Structure 1
Amino acid sequence: MSRLGNLGARLYQGEVGYDFVGKRKIWYGVSILITITAILGLAVQGLNMGIEFKGGAVFTTPKTDVSVSQAQEVAEDASGHDAIVQELGTGGLRIQVSELDTQQADRVQEKLAEEFKLDSTKINAELVGPSWGEQIANKAWTGLGVFMILVVIYLAIAFEWRMAVAALVALIHDITITVGVYALVGFEVTPGTVIGLLTILGYSLYDTVVVFDSLKEGSKDITKQTRWTYSEVANRSINSTLVRSINTTVVALLPVAGLLFIGGGVLGAGMLNDISLSLFVGLAAGAYSSIFIATPLVADLKEREPQMKALRKRVLAKRAAAAAKGESAQDQEDVSDRAYDEAPGDAAPAVVGPRGSGRGRGRPSSRRR
């Protein structure tokens, strides 16, 4: 077995682990700081909306020897507006100028033809109205709202309302950070960006639901034992699915990183940046929130219940009594394991979450009938 596989097995069995839930205030603080930075970037710098949302014209030229910088200068001088120029695979240029009407677009087309020494009919001009982008944005907001409502309803039914609330908070956290990064980086927001944002919604919830499923199974009959509090079971659930979350996130990020850094950065295919940046940031934020935000938040909400408060008191009281007798934590687990072994049939005490590596580990499930 590889080192990563061995680590995953040890995490699942509870032999090793990191106290994610216990240090949740640190992760909450980090998330709040990142979110505030994203909101400030969005408020101060704003989003660089593409031509589809602002309206304008797109000019496409045949193969030419004119450089991108020269074409940009000519287009800006002719239009009086900022221009975005991209080199096409055919050797031609795609020149995008926002906020142009029909007459202004005709003048820019003639000026480009004159400077490029081309027939104006060979330069394709396409006008884009802002209403089309507004329709896309409105439909995207509608789809986002419907998606969130359905997610909350499903999670509340499949798990419980606290997990639904935590998943919703994590989802808003991921979207806010992604939009804020777009504002800070200054990438153009296009319909591809909207598609990317809607795509990351599912990815953002995937790891969260995996941890929630493990937590649901591990916390079954939790009040019938006095070994772990709910927060400790939640922490064990995170650790038991940690390697899986890391593997799925890395595998998903690698091709997206290729699109973003190689396709968009090295090869200059700027249109790939629209969707790849939102996917890259969203996937990374989703993996973070499922581990550091969603599950610790569920633990916080559950620990407010009277039953969980009473359970915590019983667990801490038992540990204090054991400490007074000089027993170690491992001694307590061994006693609990012996009680399990000696209990007949249904009288066996409840076992919550993945078992550790102490005495009695690895016994067959047929013992509990």
Structure 2
Amino acid sequence: MLAAKRAAPRPVHAPKSDAALFQAPAEVVHALLPDARPGQAIMTGIQSMLLNRAARHAAALRAHAAALEAARGRAAAGCEAAARRLAARMAGCDSEIEARLDTLHETRVMQLDSDQIEEVWEYVASHGPERLAWLGQLESDLAAAESERRGEGEAALRVLAGALQEASHVDEGQAQRLVEAEALALNAALLEDRQRACEALKRLHTSEVLQERARRRRWEAGLSQWRTLRSEHAIDSFAKRLASCEFTETEAALRLFGQLREAQQEAARKLLEHVRSAAPRMMPPGTSAAAAAAWGEEGERLCGEWDARLADGLGALEKQDSETEAQRAY
């Protein structure tokens, strides 16, 4: 008890009013303070209070950083889920389009007609608006994730401002500047993420345009190949048909045609010689009605021989045609 009494500060009473007239005001006020001994003025409660404020201040900053990191993780997970949904949709659509374009392969394209070729491109082109809508959905999902992260970040800033004010480790101005710095950092992070999202969407749209152009070129190449193959097939079929017995004669018929041609040449030669013999035979003194009649009879005989051989040849050809048709029918 005695030790506590000695350790306690001794009270100091105010000086008399007339004595205070000759002292400075600051000295008078200072004289009213407890006369604490130098070795015993440790202010344990104040130091504990300051340490508690610093701890609460640091805890508020850590909680704020954890809240921002959690918001960032949730936003990233949402963006990744949206990207996976888009990738799955695009992969399924690509497989369907690829299956249709595979029908234009050179080993299968000849099974299609012109309308079916056009239907292939109509099917491919019909997926364009749908794929663009999927990209628009991804953009909406990214914007929603950003908005949610911004809302959570602003809520965390309000919590941080209240915690700093409650901790009172720094004055109000410093706390406001600290909250403002955190807000600027949040905005910078959101802007950086938005820029990355815009670049990713730009690459996706560019890739979609390039893929559509490539599919169009592939379809046009398939159409050109289809036309070429059909033309070649038509030419080959026509050539084979011309080379078939439908348009060509049999060997027997060709032999008959050869014999008929030789007979025609022989008859023409004889008639030409007969015509050329008219001048010498009709020149005087051989000119007479009997000579002219004999020359004419000779010409009629030659023409009759040719007519008879021609009739025989045509009859043989008709007989050969009948036999050939009978064989085809059989």
Pair member with larger Rg: 2
Bigger strand share:
1
Q: Same fold (TM over 0.5)?
A: no
TM-score, structure 2 as length reference: 0.29
